[in-house]
Structure 1
Amino acid sequence: MDAIRGTAHGTAPVPLSVLDLVTVGRGGTATQALRTSVDLARLAERRGFHRHWVAEHHSMPGVASSSPAVILAHLAAHTERIRLGSGGVMLPNHAPLVIAEQFGTLEALAPGRVDLGLGRAPGTDGATAAALRRTARPNEGADDFPQQLAELTRFLDDDFPGGHPYARIHAVPGPVQGPPGRPPVWLLGSSGFSARLAGALGLPFAFAHHFSAANTLPALDLYRESFRPSEVLDAPYAVIGVSALASDDEREARRQALTGALAMVRLRTGRPGLVPTPEEAEAHEFSPLEREFVDSWLGNVVYGTPDTVRAGLDDLQKRTGADELMITANVHGGDARLRSYELIADAYVLPTAG
């Protein structure tokens, strides 16, 4: 349970963590984005953030996180203490045995500090999902998610019953080789399905408030109402992902936040690309529908000076009762993202590791 429940640090009401999309901005490269992720993981560890997760996305030029396990292995080699995990791996895109082996390897590389967060969405569009799964039915894997989860858990625990077709198959590294143990499983979601499933199984739950804010409270209520104690948890534990960007200057914070909003406009209208620069975002002529979307999107982004961001995060935590806040900053500049996390750590007086 210690692997799940963190301890609040500094003056933060709950633990603060990082959700990293490995953002690629216009004028940058994937190599630069991945280097920034290393810098961010080191900063997060030094400044007292609880965990650093990366998210699986595909066929999106503005992110470089299509292979969470590979990125996490790299981050594990450059950090020592911070928890690392997937936020998440999209299980329907993969054979459960493959994920058990990947995260068993990560657990062997970084014992006791790996989280396996799982989602049931494809992390992309339908055509790309079909290319990933080699099927013309992109929802097929999502419909089978509970069964895939059960199979993955059996592989992680190496406990298929006798007579099962997979009883003699071992995910390695894994329990058949002895310690270390296996990573804790989390369920992720942006609606009620995974909330209910996480509650029924007594698993920790992470909700994507940063892109599904209207569903946050209903999903968290459903999770808590459905929760049944388990060997993993004796009480619900809910994390919410939240977009936040702190800057020394209020105007600069909005300039950067607008880059992420324009990137989302383009993604939602079938035109994904590199995250635009602040200058490009400011010069963009938004249509009335685009402006409506941007205003709604920015209404759920906590941005501004450090004091403003702290107040916004505190208010969100109080309204949702979240046990942990996982902060993402999907904006153009790597330097702006790093500076934002520094300022948020300062605002909460998070301890600096020696």
Structure 2
Amino acid sequence: MRLSVLDQSMVVEGRDAGEAIRDTVALANAADAYGYHRFWVSEHHNAPGLAGTAPEVLAAAIAMSTRRIRVGTGAVLLPHYAPLKVAEAAGVLSALAPGRIDLGLARGPGADRQTAYALRPAMLDDPLNALGGPAFDESIADVLGFLGIRPFEEGHPFEGIAASRAAVPPPDIWVLGSTAASGRVAGRLGLPYVFAHFFHDGVGADAAIAAYRAAWSGEGRPYLAVAAFALAAPTRLDVHRHLLPYARWRAAGGRGAILPCANSGKPVGDGDAAELARWRTTLIHGTGEGVAADLTALARRYDADEMMIACPTAGLADRRRSLGLIAEAVGLATARSRFSQDTMEFVE
């Protein structure tokens, strides 16, 4: 099982969006050192709690500061943009880090209706595009064509248009989603698929994954990754310290809310126990060994080739520690003996 990271550039209580972006780059460097396979960044708009609005820009910064790890967008929200421009940005990324770039594409708005209209007014006049219908398939096919991965047929209106002429491998193209519709799109196009388990806490996973495999038209077998919320800490007490801020964050609206700090000093209220009971099952949490076991079990349940971790906890140090503990438990850094919580590095 491959293990990767999806980071949403969460804004933490007491810090600003700029710091969140820089923390994402720092976390990517840690993931690179710890042995994770890929590191993706998300796209959201007008969301106070999520700073990543331009994943292709952030991915470029990460690609230039890391050495080995694959870097990608998780995902570019394709209905907002012209496929040629998306392909051109991906071509630039591939030139910066040849053989290390993933272009994840999704159909969701990543924004409220007003913001989606501001991004691309015509999108709301095109319901097929807005809802991820046939136009979404066609847009992905255009991206593939512009990148030369699946060249346009003779006579196609876009024949002869190239997004990049750099002599480097094109990016790997993925579809990310949480519904059967997105699974079918990925299957029809023969592309790898990431099921966003954390979107709705796994609801709809069986249907989406079954639709993906049933629609598969590519060569070989379909490739599935599952992205889930996961958090590891050294002790059960440390884990519990992060659960209440997570529960408060989910209760406040999740992706659009500021992530509370674990040491904010906010008193525990009467409703906190109920929120903990409600939300703790939506987060894979525990010591490194416990989280590794749960991730492995989830991968087996869906017969997934890869697991992606999104870590919803405040503070770069806690996120780095979480990734390090999981990496050690899974055995990503087999040449190193143990993870040091003091230096946040693997040591002999």
TM-score, normalised via structure 1 length: 0.86
> 1:251 maps to what in 2?
237
Deviation at 1:95, TM superposition (A): 0.9
Pairing partner for 1:156 from 123, 147, 156: 147
> 1:211 maps to what in 2?
199
For residues 61 and 93 of structure 1, what CA distance do their matches in structure 2 show? Answer: 20
Gap change, CA 1:178 and 1:274, over 3 Å in 2: closer
> 1:46 maps to what in 2?
33
Pairing partner for 2:284 from 293, 299, 302: 302
> 1:5 maps to what in 2?
none
Matches within 5 A, 1:20-35: 20-35=7-22
Contact persistence 1:46–1:352 (CA under 8 A)? no
Contact persistence 1:262–1:281 (CA under 8 A)? no
> 1:87 maps to what in 2?
74
- Is 1:277 equivalent to 2:261 in the alignment? yes
Deviation at 1:261, TM superposition (A): 3.2
Aligned letter for 2:243? A
> 1:147 maps to what in 2?
138
Matches within 5 A, 1:270-349: 272-279=256-263, 283=267, 285=269, 291=274, 295-349=277-331
Aligned letter for 2:187? G
Give the secondary structure class of the aligned counterpart of 2:73.
strand
Aligned letter for 1:343? L
- Give ranges in structure 2 of 5+ residues lacking alignment: 337-348
Contact persistence 1:255–1:282 (CA under 8 A)? no
For residues 218 and 160 of structure 1, what CA distance do their matches in structure 2 show? Answer: 32
Give the secondary structure class of the aligned counterpart of 1:283.
coil
Pairing partner for 1:264 from 240, 245, 250: 250
Give the secondary structure class of the aligned counterpart of 2:203.
helix
Give the secondary structure class of the aligned counterpart of 1:179.
coil
Aligned letter for 1:114? I
For residues 144 and 218 of structure 2, what CA distance do their matches in structure 1 show? Answer: 17
Contact persistence 1:245–1:257 (CA under 8 A)? no
> 2:228 maps to what in 1?
242
> 1:97 maps to what in 2?
84
> 2:190 maps to what in 1?
202
Give the root-mean-square deviation of aligned CA atoms.
2.4
For residues 265 and 140 of structure 2, what CA distance do their matches in structure 1 show? Answer: 41
Deviation at 1:287, TM superposition (A): 5.3
Contact persistence 1:44–1:52 (CA under 8 A)? yes
CA deviation vs aligned residue, 1:261-301 (integer Å, no higher than 9, x gap): 32232226xx933211225596364759x946x54432121
Gap change, CA 1:295 and 1:123, over 3 Å in 2: farther
Q: How many residues align?
A: 330
Contact persistence 2:73–2:103 (CA under 8 A)? yes
CA deviation vs aligned residue, 1:149-173 (integer Å, no higher than 9, x gap): 12222111183344433334332xx
> 1:111 maps to what in 2?
98
Gap change, CA 1:100 and 1:227, over 3 Å in 2: same
Deviation at 1:40, TM superposition (A): 1.4
Gap change, CA 1:282 and 1:350, over 3 Å in 2: farther
Deviation at 1:181, TM superposition (A): 2.4
Aligned letter for 2:110? G
Give the secondary structure class of the aligned counterpart of 2:109.
coil
Deviation at 1:259, TM superposition (A): 2.2
Tell which deviates more after alignment, 271-280 or 127-136: 271-280
Deviation at 1:15, TM superposition (A): 0.8
- Give ranges in structure 1 of 5+ residues lacking alignment: 1-13
For residues 152 and 236 of structure 2, what CA distance do their matches in structure 1 show? Answer: 56
Give the secondary structure class of the aligned counterpart of 1:303.
strand
Gap change, CA 1:97 and 1:278, over 3 Å in 2: same
Aligned letter for 1:19? L
Gap change, CA 1:324 and 1:106, over 3 Å in 2: same
Aligned letter for 1:314? T
For residues 266 and 283 of structure 2, what CA distance do their matches in structure 1 show? Answer: 17
Deviation at 1:340, TM superposition (A): 0.2
